[in-house]
Amino acid sequence: MKNNIKLSAMALALATIGLSACSEDFLDVENPTQLTLEEYFSDPEKMESSVTAAYAPLHWFDYNAHKDCSYADPVLIADIMSDQMFVGGSNSTDQPALQKIGNWSADANNTPVSLWDDCYSGVKRCNDCLHYLEGYNGGNKNQLIAEIYTLRAYYYNILWKFWGNIPYYEGNEEFPSPSIDNGYSAKQLSPSESYAQIIKYLELAINEPTFPSTQKAGEEGHATKAFAKMLYSDFVLYQKDKDRYSTALGYMDDVIAEYPLEKDFAKIFTEAGEWCSESIFEINYVKVGTRDWNDNDRVAAGTVLPAFVGPAEAVEGKCSSGWGFTPIKESVWDLFANGDQRRDASIIDARGIATSGRYQCTYLYNAKYAPRAENLASSGDPNLSYGNNRRVYRVAEAYINAAELSAKLGNGKAEGYLTTLREARGGSYTGSSIADIVEEAAREFVGEGKRFFIVLRNDGENGVSAQNLFVGAANDNSGKYNYTAEQMAQNGKFAEYNKYLPIPQEDLSADQNLKQNPGY
Amino acid sequence: MKRLLTFITIMCFAVMSAWAQNGRVTVHGKVVSKTDGEPLLGVTIAEKGTTNGTISDLDGHYSISCAEGATIVASYVGYVTQEIAVKGGEQNIVLEEDNIGLEEIVVIGYGVQKKSVVTAAISGINADDIAGTTNRVDNALRGAASGVTVTATSGQPGASSQVRIRGVGTINNSDPLYIVDGMPIDGGIDYLAPSDIQSIEVLKDAASGAVYGARAANGVIIVTTKKGKTGKPVVSYDFSYGFQNTTKTRDVLNAVEYATIWNEYQYNSGFNPIFDVEEIKAKGIDTDWQRRLWNYNAPVQSHQLSVSGANERVNYYFSAGYYNQEGIIGGDFDRSNYERFNFRSNNIFTLVDAKDRNWLSNVNVGINIAYTHINSKGIETNSEFGSPLGSALMNPPLMPVYSDNPEADRAAHAGDPWLITDKNGYLYSIVDNFQGEKLQELKNPLAFLSLPDPGSWSDKFVSNFYAEVTLWDNLKFKSSYGTDMGFWGNRSATIPHYMNTMEKPSVSSAQMSWNKGFTWQLENTLSYDKTISGHTFQILLGQSAKKNKGAYLGAYSKYLVAIDYDRLYPDFTTGNSANADERNGWGADNADHTLASLFARVSYDYKSRYMFQATVRRDGSSNFGPDNHYATFPSFSVGWNITRESFLENRPRWWNNTKLRYSWGKNGNENIGAFAYMVNTSTGHINNYFFGPEGSAISTGAKASGIPNPAIHWEENIQHDAGIDMDFFNSALSLSVDWYKKTTDGMLQTQPIVTYVGEAKPIGNIGKMENTGWEFDLSYRWNINDIKFRFAANASYLKNKLVDYGTESGENDVETMSAAGFGVIAHCKNGEPYPYFYGYQTAGVFQNMAEVEASGLKYGNEESSKAPKPGDLIFVDQNGDGFINDADNTKIGKGMPDWTYGFSLNVDYKGFDFVAQFQGVLGADVYDATRRNDIKYVNLPAYIKDRWTGEGTSNTVPIFDETAYNKHSSDFFVKDGSYLRLRNIELGYTLPQQLTSKAFISKARVFVSCQNLFTATKYEGFDPEIGQSTTAIGIDKGIYPQARTLTFGCNVSF
């Protein structure tokens, strides 16, 4: 009997334990691997990691498995929209979104979604970072603010140029959400409206005295004042904001003074040429084989861009094999005069060497981002493990911008900028009209995603027409891979809306106030 | 239907001293079961109207002294109580099993209930229904119970099935809650050996599930494992051995057809033909990749040994089992295999059994312990990206399995990693460059299978301890403590090899990970049952607390010391720590998950005529923020047995029973993972950046983990259920019909907000889903001479509707196959079933230019549109704007069936037993996505032979060329997925006892059976049953089909 009582007592004790488990403490659990934002950023030392995270989306551009149109480096997109490259790949349906962009039939479901998303991730992280900086008391506070303003302007630069009418937000009011009202939607601004906002922050950054003008050794990759100035003139020229032309020109002069042109053009895009004397901003990739196609798609490591644009078969002494995207048109090869260093450093000529080509194959390939053995990691998936940095701005662009600004201001200095650049590159070219400047840029920036926008910002100037860009997209000197008029949108007529890409459907569906770019 | 004899403790009466007195007689004898003549132990023999009584012993003997002319009452759970007039001397008693459904016992949450007073919608299957299943328990549910849709995810050994109770309840996790012997089990119930299971109950409506409140929104499956049966120890051994084969080989093009059709493609697309058909004929290479891939006669075997028995003090059941299955794809390469070892010990000890007092009269202690070890290896299934079967369907037949020119291949790949050879060193052909086209992810499937896969494993210990004390009268207190401890892990390894241009790792590596999960649950309940002049009350009060903890640990290293398939470990490498990427590890505890609950239930019935039950449960979950921890889930149900009314007393004799039921209840779902309500910092590779020159150290990034939603709370599910149960002809025929409407509100879901917030989207309580349906269950037993028949059938009709997706647009894409060229293939939209197949609706094929012009249609967006050409599919212009583009995508089918049904026939004749179990669905579609529209020169399904080649040739299959829109998702790819399957057919023979008893064998049965003997379907693919995730149901990307298995086996008891 005593045993029975003991048993009952034990059972009741268990019951009591059980009931006490119902307390609130029992339901409050701790996150074993993550700190709260308050815990984390109460430590000023951690500010650097927030800045780092704001840069991270830059290296997602080349491949983001989690989004449609996974391969959407802005260089790729801008060049297949230009008249210098075909789409290529294995056939006309390889990477459908790119193929459609290539023949101007992109739509809301075939648009570089990953680029759109990656840029907005960057914007959001910059905004968060600025919020953390409000409570930060380190000596480099103002410098960091200027740096983040510049970085955010770069993300917006991509969105603004490719999509025009973009949702714009900078806010921290509803931290940690973006500064958006209850519907999580931001106001869609016209290109001029968002320009006015972005340029304001760039001016703040450029006027910040503690913001270093050039990158410090060992810290290459951080935004600098020179980068901000390049962005500034990029925005001003594309916006055709005449009131700011002379300021922009002044900035270009500053940059030209600080960054000497590289004498050996071929070196610029080699491993040794990373962060060379004329490099203003690069996206850093490192030849480390830790990326993969699925969960580790956006690991900070190598890039897939060289494999993507590499020729179908290796070219002895020049590069390994790749997937044969963005074959270069023969008309581009013909742009170069004898003695111009840039031709062979920009284009791999596999004509007569290669035997197997791919779709739209001209046997001319992008040499600047070619898959070279010197850039390849020794382990990991080789396609994803090239260390080629992505060059964003080189001082050559400051020369082009300066010449263009001078020509537009009519100050007679255009010729001087062009001459300096031409002398450094070789080849005998003359002329300093807008058309000449645009053509010089066409030679300088093959495969760097500049051509499309430089033509557009000069559309209507004497000898420059966006229609040429469009017809150009359809035609190649060899005539082999011309799109038929039927294959081109609107039978080959460039329309205003072709300036922009369609806004992704996912966001149009989610935000009823968001309007598709007119024409799509 | 079901019976649980052993769950209830045997009722005993104090044995009175049997003094030889005047006017008293002694009767003695043996109590046996009418069914099998076996003696019955523990039968209560009482003198009617007195407290005088006894129970039968181990051999069924009893002896009782009682008054002359008295009546004795023999009662035994599960048997019809018998009254016998006392004559004195030997009086043997034969008890008849209680086959009348009315007194069957049904397991409900935290207790049992007489079936006659059940007011909720509960389906059940018992051990006999499960007997034919040896692999996974969930397979036994297929077609066996109404309201339950079980869809195999694949035929891979050990693959789980998708179980849905009353449809897809939420766009969130729709898996039901599994309760095994009172313990909630996470991660599925494949650790259970089917033969250990006594019964499975499916609680379908909200009222029955309400006692599990927080987690019952998707239904509850209660599994009860076996206990010993009163009597002598029984040793049973079950053995089966089977041979598995594919049921089908998909018809694809042979070499000549392939060459002809791709030449035609070239011609149609404006290119030169590339294949020389005559040369191909002469060369004679015509590889049937599927035939080379199948593992014919893949073995499957099962052994199960159990020892069980019970007496007054102890009830025991021990079992041990082994199951081994080889897959029909890759099983022969040790790439698709499953092996399970299981052990179980179920024990109940009766510590106190004192019928002579009213307080502390009974104390039971129970211990259930189960251990299962599983080894499994699996290959990728149902994928368009180079899965073995997907590659077998698409690899060109002109490619041989083995390289036809090894020297040339080796020379061409001189700088590449190791080329894959078979065991004998023969070089496999390389699927990389075919006629100048890279075949992307496609692989030589046999080469792929030759690579090592160390596989995964799991160990699971589930235990449950309880004590039940009868405190006073029928007031019982039960305290139980259960644990579910699991360890699982996997290894993977890469050896340098050259598969194709996309897969050519040059460095070896090995990865290993371990996980641990531990759940404890403490529950205490007080229950009180009482019947007072026809009024029966059952009251239950309870408390439950549950906590999940876990941890994970993994390591990865590069550069194996040697390629040895037995030593593919991260430590069997020379990786040095100088390079961070060569050797790394990860690990942490998982976030805890806790649930704290209180619940109460009152059941009442008046003479089993009027019934009422009400339940309320208050749950708290750690998955929600401090303001939203708790929610309360009420329910009630009523029943009315009209045949017990006096006005129906004179009904016809064949009309036994009719009961009307109605229930209403609210359940919840908290299945969203921890910390969704708040924002933390997250780090990780994707947030890092390299600053500085090449070779600089990486900078770590940290960012907000997402966008928080502190307001998220429980997903709520309200369900109405009305039902009727009827029995006729002495209960030989029974019929149940249920109607229900289940509405899920505030579905926990990632809010489909804009992506330009630049961050992972928050979870919110948005959206509403509705399921309505009808369920029918019918069973009929009859005899023709010595032949006993039993027929059972069930059918469920389900209509699912996404009422509100929670966004302004009310729609979203849920499955996309962009790379393969289809675009969006599944979509959801308010007012439609969730989800549905999406694409263009077709109306035949344009036969000539006149038809194209007459249609006036243009394909594409307005600015970039083109007129279609003859041979193109005619797409229906849904919005009538003259252009066929994304705005014209519409509903073109759905993967979830309208009707799910099953029926079975059992026949017993002398020693023979026969069963045939059928199962099927109606009104389901399959999306046939077994094509890569983006890769040139892949092989194609045979239907392409019916393509349009000129006016009048085809009005269904379009011209074969590079036109993208013919390959765009459309109803051309959607096929009828209805089917009827003979799931199992079995013939057994039990040897006569006279023969077997000499060898001390009480029962010996041999059987032969065939699972999946035939499937009647119009679908041309491997299998119309395609589970996968809720959104991918019915999408065929080259599914691993279920095998047809021919099994032989025996059951022996000693």
Cβ neighbours for B989, distance < 8 A, ≥ 6 positions apart: B911, B912, B913, B1005, B1006, B1007
Which residues on B lie below 8 Å from A11 (Cβ)?
Answer: 467, 469, 477, 479, 524
**Model confidence over B460-484: pLDDT tens digits?**
999 999 999 999 888 999 999 999 9
* A176 upstream amide cis, omega within 30 of 0: yes
Chain CA centroid to CA B869, Å: 47
pLDDT at residue B100 in the model = 47
pLDDT of residue B580: 54
**Chain A nearest CA to B695, separation (Å):** 7
> Which residues of chain A register pLDDT less than 50?
1-2, 20-22, 173, 175-176, 178-181
Residues 362-381 of A with CB under 8 A from B: 378-381
Q: Find residue B1001's DSSP bridge partners.
A: none
Tens of pLDDT, residues B952-964:
999 999 999 988 7
Q: Does A32 touch chain B (CB under 8 A)?
A: yes
pLDDT at B2 over 70: no
- How far is the C-alpha of A299 from the C-alpha of A304, rounded, in Å? 12
Q: At what angle do helices A434-444 and A395-409 cross, to 10 degrees?
A: 170
B968 phi and psi, to 5 degrees? Answer: -65, 150
Residue the block writes with tokens 């950046």: B689
Mean pLDDT confidence for B153-166: 83
**What is the distance in angstroms between the Cα of B752 and the nearest Cα belonging to chain A?**
6
pTM: 0.77
Candidate ranges B402-416, B581-595, B829-843; pick with highest mean pLDDT: B829-843
Place of tokens 């599983």: B374
Of B328 and A96, which is predicted with more confidence? B328
pLDDT confidence tier of residue B158, bands split at 50, 70 and 90: confident
Domains located in chain B, CATH noted: 24-98 (2.60.40.1120)
A511 touches chain B (CB under 8 A): yes
Given the structure tokens 């039939």, which residue do they identify? Answer: A105
Is A30 an interface residue toward B (CB < 8 Å)?
A: yes
pLDDT of amino acid B1003: 87
Residue B505 CA, chain-centre distance (Å), reads 37
pLDDT per position as a tens digit, B934-952: 888 999 999 999 999 999 9
pLDDT for residue B441 is more than 60: yes
- ipTM, 2 dp: 0.92
More reliable by pLDDT, B1019 or B1031:
B1019
Closest by CA to B53, choosing from B82, B81, B11, B8, is B11
Convert B830-840 to b/e letters by CB count within 10 Å (16 or more is b): bebbbbbbbbb
Q: Which residues of B859-878 are buried (b: 16+ CB within 10 A; e: fewer)?
A: bbbebbbebbebbbbbbebe
pLDDT mean over B663-682:
85
Per-residue pLDDT for B870 more than 90?
yes
Instruction: Name every chain B residue with its beta carbon within 8 A of the beta carbon of A288.
Output: 581
pLDDT at B387 over 90: no
Average pLDDT of chain B is 87
Is residue A280 within 8 A of residue A392, CB to CB? The reply is yes
3-state secondary structure of B187: coil
Contact flag B433-A356 (C-beta cutoff 8 Å): yes
Strand, coil or helix: B898: coil
What does residue B743 show for φ and ψ, rounded to 5 degrees? Answer: -120, 120
Q: Mean pLDDT over residues B589-597, rounded?
A: 92
Tokens at A190, concatenated? 């016209």
**Which tokens in the block code for residue B522?**
């403490």
* CA–CA gap between residue B530 and residue B431 (Å, rounded): 75
On whether any CB of chain B is under 8 Å from the CB of A26, the answer is: yes
Give the three-class secondary structure for A443: helix
**Higher-scoring residue by pLDDT: B80, A1:** B80
Q: Could you give the residue ranges of the DSSP H alpha helices within A291-427? A: 305-309, 330-333, 342-346, 395-409, 414-425
What pLDDT is recorded for position A15? Answer: 53
DSSP string computed for B580-610 = GGGEEEEEEEPPPEEEEEEEEEEEEEETTTE
Task: Identify the pLDDT of residue B15.
Answer: 30
**Residue B576 confidence class, pLDDT cut points 50, 70, 90:** low
Could you say which DSSP state residue B959 is in? P
Question: What's the CA gap between B617 and B684, in Å, rounded?
Answer: 41
Tell whether A188 lies on the interface with B, counting CB pairs under 8 A.
no
Split at pLDDT 50, 70, 90, the class of B21 is very low
CB contact under 8 A, A35 and B545: no
Contacts of B105 (CB under 8 A, 6+ apart): B2, B3, B4, B7, B8, B112, B113, B114, B115
User: Which pairs from A139-142 meet CB under 8 Å and 24+ separation?
Assistant: A140/A210, A142/A208, A142/A210, A142/A211
Answer for the pair A231, A205: CB distance below 8 angstroms, yes or no. Answer: no
Query: Radius of gyration over alpha carbons of chain B, in Å?
Result: 33
pLDDT in tens, B495-544: 999 998 888 888 899 999 999 999 999 999 999 999 998 899 999 999 99
Q: Do A90 and B935 touch (CB under 8 A)?
A: yes
CA dihedral B747, B749, B753, B756 (to 10 degrees): 170
The one-letter amino acid at B803:
V
Whether A158 and A235 have beta carbons less than 8 Å apart is answered as: no
Rg (alpha carbons) of chain A, rounded to whole number: 26
- DSSP state at residue B402: B
Please check the confidence at residue B8 and state whether its pLDDT lies above 70.
no
Q: Which amino acid is at B415?
A: G
Q: Which two tokens stand for residue B445?
A: 């499937």
In this complex, which of A27, A289, A520 lies closest to B629 when CB atoms are compared? A27
- Cβ-Cβ pairs closer than 8 A, A with B, add up to 323
CA distance A304 to A289: 11
- pLDDT score for A414: 96
b/e burial code for range B656-682 (CB count within 10 A of at least 16 → b): bbbbebbbbbbbbbbbbebbbbbbbbb
Cα–Cα distance between B907 and B917 in angstroms, integer? 12
Distances (CA, A) of A265 to A105, A221, A281, A396, A441: 36, 21, 17, 11, 15
DSSP A293: S
3-class DSSP state for residue B194?
Answer: helix
Q: Is A89 on the interface with B (CB under 8 A)?
A: no
A209: Cβ contacts below 8 Å, ≥ 6 apart: none
- The reported pLDDT for the residue numbered B794 is 92
Distance CA B611, CA B594 (A): 35
Reduced to 3 states (helix: H, G, I; strand: E, B; else coil), residue B98 is coil
CB nearest to B524's CB, from A14, A122, A510: A14
How far CA A16 is from CA of B350, B482, B545, B546, B593, in Å, comes to 24, 16, 11, 15, 21
Tell if the CB–CB gap between B864 and A105 is shorter than 8 Å.
yes
| Helix/strand/coil for B443 | coil
Residue B18 reports pLDDT greater than 60:
no
